Amino acid sequence: MRARSLVVGAVTMAIVACRRPPAGTVLECHPCPGEIAPLPPPAGEKAPGLPDLPARSPRNASYSIDARLDPERHTLQGSLVLEWRNTTGQPQTTLPFHLYWNAFRNTLSTAARGEGRRPVRPRPSDGTRGFGYIQLASVHQLSDAGETDLTPTLGYVQPDDRNTDDRTVAEIVTPVPVPPDGTTRFKIEWTAHWKGAWNAHQFHPTTEFFSDYGVYDVRLTVPQGFVVGATGSLVGAIDNPDGTRTHHFHQDDVHDFAWVTSRRMAERLGRFDDQGYPPVDIRLLVQPEHVHLAERYIEATKVCLRSYGSWAAPYPYGHVTVVDPAWNSASGGMEYPTLFTGGASVLSPPVLQSPELVTIHECGHQFWYGLVGNNEFEEAWLDEGVNSYHEDKAAQIALGPQAWGRRYFGPLRAGRGSRAPVPVVAPDVWMRRGESERAGLRRAGAIDVMARRGWDYRTPEAYTINSYGKPALSLQTLEALVGDEAMTQIMRTYARRYRFAHPTSEDFIAVVNEVTHQDYRWFFDQTWFSSELCDYAVTVRNERVQAPAGYLEGRDGRPLLTPPAREEGRKAAGPFDSEVVVLRIGGVRLPVELRVEFADGREVRESWDGQYRWTRYRYHGAKVRAAEVDPDGKIALDVDPGNNSWADNEPVARRAASKWAMRWMFWLQNLLELHTLLG
């Protein structure tokens, strides 16, 4: 059996964080595919009109960790010293700790149960290999007077669902309260095993991480010959007499630590050193069968560092580690401070943009979650959504349009992380960015309000669309409202003000209002805090103007009966009376534009505030040939662009429709034949 990479976290426990439309609004044109505004130069540490970048984080939770891996026994033993400063503003005697690894302890954990969402549990084919746990052996509080054993106070709590079988949050109790801004130290010994106010939430299927910033000094001991990648930079490594090797990593100003080790990973190096940006060393740990994709991984990482650093604030750490996980290992697409995992297949045509897209997205989390540490438990859209918004823009600039394709010959029952190996690409069929998000919003957007905690959504799809797609589309729409320059100023202000901090949605909205000097609460109330959908449509009616008939006034002033004129053929000359109706089908009210084209070549643009259910425009003269609401694609939130346009049934339109219908039918026929063959 092929060996698999071991992706393990040295800090599987961590102390958790504490936290204390207007009239006349007009949309600017949101860049259509291929028309994204060029990257502005990055702003320096001190830039006019922007907050200064902080030199360091609060560093109120810092760790010194020693961990030893035994791959034969599938265990990770370790000890740590935690120095914690109380920033809650209140005396604290009870301290909660995350024990994320216990999400995989058994099928009774909250993550494994799923509770209506996609559960996190081993695949049946894994047998018992997918289970694992972390256990605290001892907890001592350190002081000048000595050590106080707090192990007897250790207990497990379930603040979210009262599931007493869940052990992902532990609490200890100190004999003397830690005063506000006071500092204390703890020594903790723990073992992780696998066969495979406070803000402290359990580990849920749809939540990730949230913790305080600090300094991590970590020593990892593994068998000699193992390649190790980790958060931070390598301070040094020494060989031990027992055949192991200890790797020493150090990183300031991060809120977590992760590492990866394997015998079979290859190493490839790159460097990002664009003008105006701090240089970054890129270290790629790649599966041997994916070495041919190494340059694509590294270049995609540079795309992210360049574009996100321009739109937000430059990446401050001098290094980043990219991990290419084992095939179908369920370890792909995950972010950690200065380290992230991608994901690739041996067969990866560049037009499918894999591994580029996942690399840009996960590297993007270094900015949104890593440097700006929002609460992923309660407001996942502040990192996943903001990240997806920037990912689409970065990919459009660097990669261009994405081809449509499917993969085949995968497992009959695809488990978590499963992926079919053989791609089939449809030539000349391209996907517009945002279409999959828009389709998801159309299907599931009305199920839940976007602003909900990660485990409170009704379905997994509702979580996904409200954490990724809807916030990304809403930010694209906001960009059209405020303009590209203002949006860049918003994101830069937000990124700089809240670097190494824990902002909320209200903080982001306040920045929008501050930069624009307008109150955009009306926009967020309809999008982030509502389940209403946005959908505008257009209808057109053309009627040829008939000659006057009936009792008309004669020359002598008397009524003169005039019969209707006979129409000379279907295309008789004469003016038209045309009516164009714009409909607001959805509940979201946004200003929209209308473009009307006439048979004589004229074009008219109209603007509507979008408040009422419909508005009507009447025209006299040449026949309306085409009409389109939101012609520049400014309203990314519109769930059904298909009803945004209308075209007269002229031969040209019929030829275009026939051309595309034949092309799609051809590919549909080929796909059906392929499915029949595989079946």
In order, the DSSP letters of 135-178 are: EEEEEEEEETTEEEE-GGG-EE--TTT--TT--SEEEEEEEEEE
* pLDDT at residue number 607: 98
Kind plus residue range of the DSSP H or E element containing 212: none
Strands 61-70, 214-223: pairing kind: parallel
- Cβ atoms within 10 Å of 542's Cβ, excluding its own: 16
* Half-sphere CA count of 114, side-chain side, radius 13 A: 10
**Collapsing DSSP states into helix, strand and coil, what is residue 210?**
coil
More confident site: 497 or 22? 497
Indicate the fold that domain 536-563+574-648 takes in CATH: Immunoglobulin-like (2.60.40)
Q: What mean pLDDT, rounded, does the chain reach?
A: 86
- Whole-number pLDDT of residue 111: 78
Residue 306: HSE in the Cβ half-sphere, 13 Å Cα cutoff: 18
Model confidence, pTM: 0.85
Alpha helices by DSSP H, listed for 59-120, are: 110-113
Range of weakest confidence among 162-166, 237-241, 283-287, 624-628 = 162-166
Looking at residue 502, its pLDDT comes to 94
| Confidence (pLDDT) at 161 | 80
Residue with the bigger pLDDT between 47 and 609: it is: 609
Alpha helices in 157-273 (DSSP H): none
Beta bridge partners of 250: 217, 233
Look at residues 294, 299, 345 and name the one whose alpha carbon lies nearest to residue 323: 294
Place of tokens 């009959």: 412
Span 258-276, pLDDT tens digits? 999 999 999 999 999 999 9
Which whole-number Å values give the CA distances from 307 to 277, 554, 564, in the listed order?
11, 74, 67
Q: Express each pLDDT in 408-445 by its tens digit.
A: 877 655 555 556 788 888 888 888 888 889 999 999 99
Residues 6+ positions from 76 with CB-CB distance below 8 Å = 8, 10, 67, 68, 69, 70, 191, 192, 193
Residue 375 in this model has a pLDDT that exceeds 90: no
Structure tokens at 319: 């290094």
Give the span between the Cα atoms of 496 and 503, in whole angstroms: 11
Average pLDDT estimate for 102-122: 71
Task: Report the percentage of the chain scoring pLDDT > 90.
Answer: 64
The whole-angstrom separation of Cα 453 and Cα 605 is 42
Of the pLDDT bands very low, low, confident and very high (cuts 50, 70, 90), residue 649 is confident
Cα(453)–Cα(467) distance, integer angstroms: 10
Q: Could you tell me which residue, 368 or 125, shows the higher pLDDT?
A: 368
Tokens of 566: 């006979």
Closest by alpha carbon to 273, among 319, 341, 231, 321?
A: 319
The total of other beta-carbon atoms located within 10 Å of residue 580's CB is 22
| Interval 502-542: pLDDT, tens | 999 999 999 999 999 999 999 999 999 999 999 999 999 99
Q: Where are the domains of the chain?
A: 536-563+574-648, 649-679
Residue 146 zone, left/alpha/beta (φ > 0; ψ -120 to 50; rest): left
Q: What is the pLDDT of residue 387?
A: 97
CA atoms within 13 A on the CB side of 390: 33
Residue 394 has a pLDDT of 97
Nearby residues of 19 by Cβ (< 8 Å), 6 or more positions away: 197, 199, 375, 502
Biggest alpha carbon distance in the chain? Answer: 122
Helix or strand run (H / E) with residue 15 = strand 13-15
Assess whether pLDDT exceeds 70 at residue 569: no
Q: What average pLDDT does this structure show over 572-576?
A: 75
Alpha helices, DSSP H, located in 483-569: 484-497, 505-516, 521-527
Nearest to 149 by CA among 189, 205, 101: 189
pLDDT of residue 418: 59
387 exposure class (CB count in 10 Å sphere: 0-12, 13-18, 19+): buried
Residue 232 three-state SS: coil
What is the phi-psi region of residue 230: left when phi exceeds 0, alpha when psi lies from -120 to 50, beta otherwise?
beta
Query: Residue 27 above 50 pLDDT?
Result: no
- pLDDT value at position 118? 54
Q: Which tens digit of pLDDT belongs to each residue from 192-237? A: 876 544 344 444 445 556 689 999 999 999 999 999 999 999 999 9
For residues 458 and 224, the model is more confident at 224
Best CA proximity match to 181, nearest among 18, 64, 65, 56: 18
229 phi and psi angles, rounded to 5 deg = -125, 150
CA distance 427 to 160: 49
When mean pLDDT is compared over 15-29, 296-310, 547-561, 649-663, the highest value belongs to: 296-310
pLDDT on residue 541: 96
Q: Residue 660: which H helix or E strand, with range?
A: helix 651-678
Task: Return the DSSP state at 476.
Answer: H
At residue 327 the predicted structure's pLDDT band, cuts being 50, 70 and 90, is: confident
**Could you tell me if 315 and 278 are in contact, meaning their C-beta atoms sit under 8 angstroms apart?**
yes
Strand locations in 131-287 (E): 132-143, 146-149, 155-156, 169-178, 183-194, 214-223, 227-230, 233-239, 244-254, 259-262, 266-272, 280-286
How many angstroms from the chain centroid is the CA of residue 25?
A: 28
What's the rounded mean pLDDT across residues 64-83? Answer: 95
Say what the pLDDT of residue 478 is: 98
Q: What is the token pair recorded at 230?
A: 């980790």
Beta-carbon contacts of 286 under 8 Å, excluding residues fewer than 6 positions away, are: 265, 266, 267, 268, 293, 294, 297, 324
Task: Please give the Cα distance from 66 to 77 (Å, whole number).
Answer: 8
